[in-house]
Structure 1
Amino acid sequence: MELKLLLMPLIGLFIGWGTNVLAVKMLFRPHRPLHILGINFQGILPKRRTEIARKIAETVQDELLSIHEITRIFERFDIKEHIDTAIEELVRNKLKNRILEKIPMLAPMVESLLPKIQPAIVEELYLQAVQIKKAMIEQIHDEVDIAEIVVEKLDLYDLNEFESLILKVAQKELRHIEVLGAVLGFAIGSIQALIIYYL
Structure 2
Amino acid sequence: MIDLAFLGTATFWKYASMPFISAIIGYITNRVAIWMMFHPIEFFGIWKPFLGWQGIVPRKAAKMSAIATDTITENLIDSEEIFSRLDPEEVAEKLKVPLNEMTEDLVAEVMKSHHPEIWERTPTAARETIVARVQAAVPQAIADTVRDLRVDVNQVFDLKDMVVTNLVHHKELMNRIFLETGKEEFKFIGRSGAYFGFPLGMIQMLVWIFFQPWWLLPVFGMFVGWFTNWAALKMIFNPKEKHRIGPFTFHGLFFKRQEDVARAYGDLVANEVLAPANILQQVLKGPYSDRIFTIIAHHVGEAIDDSAGPIRSFVSWTVGDVNYIRLKQTAVDRLIAYTPDAQGSASPAMQEFIRYTNETMAIEETLVDRMRQLSPRKFEGMLRPAFEEDEWILIAVGAALGFAVGVFQFIVLFGGGG
TM interval, shorter chain, is 0.5 to 0.7
2:267 partner amino acid = E
**What does 1:1-199 correspond to in 2, within 5 Å?**
4-34=213-243, 38-71=247-280, 78=293, 79-83=295-299, 119-120=305-306, 140-172=357-389, 174-194=391-411, 195-196=413-414, 197-198=416-417
Deviations 1:51-109 (A, max 9, x none): 11210111112222212332465689545412268x6xxxxxxxxxxxxxxxxxxxxxx
Distance 1:161 1:80 in 2: 39
Q: Which moved more, 1:168-177 or 1:153-162?
A: 168-177
Distance 2:409 2:235 in 1: 28
Distance 2:278 2:227 in 1: 45
Distance 1:21 1:70 in 2: 40
Which structure has greater helix proportion? 1
Q: Which moved more, 1:66-75 or 1:145-154?
A: 66-75
Deviations 1:13-62 (A, max 9, x none): 12320121110111111223455675544222110012112101111122
Cα 1:138–1:15, aligned 2, differ >3 Å: closer, same or farther? closer
Q: Tell me if the contact between 1:68 and 1:141 (Cα under 8 Å) persists in the aligned partners.
A: no
Gaps of 5+ in 2: 1-209, 286-291, 310-349
Gaps of 5+ in 1: 88-117, 124-133
2:384 partner amino acid = L
Distance 1:122 1:170 in 2: 62
Figure out how many residues of one structure are paired with residues of the other and give that number: 159
What is the percent sequence identity of the aligned residues?
A: 25
Which structure is richer in relative contact order (CA contacts within 8 A, separation 6 or more)?
A: 1
Cα 1:48–1:2, aligned 2, differ >3 Å: closer, same or farther? closer
Q: How high is the TM-score relative to the length of structure 2?
A: 0.32
Q: Tell me if the contact between 1:13 and 1:182 (Cα under 8 Å) persists in the aligned partners.
A: yes
Give the greater-gyration-radius structure (CA).
1
Instruction: Give me the CA root mean square deviation.
Output: 3.9
Cα 1:50–1:176, aligned 2, differ >3 Å: closer, same or farther? farther
